[in-house]
Amino acid sequence: MFDIKRVTHKVIARLPTWTKTSLAITPKWPLELLAEQVFNQVFSEPLQQHEFAFLSDAVVVIVFEDIHLAMEVTLKESTSPALRVRLSTQPQRFPDADVRLTGNFNHFILMIAQRVDPDTLFFRRKLRIQGDTELGLAVKNLLDTIDVQDQLPTPGYNLLNLLADQLEDFQAQATAS
């Protein structure tokens, strides 16, 4: 008999490996463009209200350890502020980061879906902040104030929640085993 939970758990367990492999062979520019568009849509209101002004002349690097991906985020000052995103499968490629947030992809997904508090991840050493701690905390606090449901299009929000549900279920099963 077909057991969807068993299949889902196998897919979730292999997701970081598949993602890492896909990132290694995918050109970076379309992913950077997509990431920029998503970030600028999700953060459009705080950007327009200049809540990202503290990022002027700052470089934030987010490192997803398990999939070997680093994301450099900076603020582009122009007529209207916007976020600029660069990606690398070599996290050391961005050595001049003012702050570096490091963790696993799954933990970032759960944090973005607001299923786990960033402070909890930090105190459990699942999320690490290196460099300018004050800047890192400002980024974390700003992310805490964003209501993802209001900022993401419905299909994106539903996909995020589906993935978060599966990750929580997978982690619960792994803990129980």
At 138 the pLDDT is 86
At 7 the pLDDT is 64
Domain with residue 116: its CATH number is 3.30.1050.10
107 lies in some domain: yes
Sign of CA dihedral 39, 41, 46, 48: positive
Cα distance between residue 77 and residue 134, in whole Å: 22
At 4 the pLDDT is 63
At 6 the pLDDT is 66
129 lies in some domain: yes
62 lies in some domain: yes
Is pTM, for the whole model, over 0.95? no
89 lies in some domain: yes
Cα distance between residue 162 and residue 36, in whole Å: 23
Which helix (H) or strand (E) segment holds residue 42: the answer is helix 28-42
35 lies in some domain: yes
At 162 the pLDDT is 83
Show the domain range for 137: 4-172
177 lies in some domain: no
148 lies in some domain: yes
52-79 core/surface letters (b: 16 or more CB in 10 A; e: else): beebeebbbbbbbeebbbbbbbbbeeee
At 109 the pLDDT is 86
Cα distance between residue 110 and residue 165, in whole Å: 9
At 99 the pLDDT is 93
21 lies in some domain: yes
Sheet holding 99-103, edge to edge: 82-88, 69-76, 60-64, 99-103, 127-131
Position of tokens 């299009």?
153
Low-confidence ranges of the chain (pLDDT < 70): 1-9, 11, 177
What is the number of structural domains in the chain? 1
At 70 the pLDDT is 92
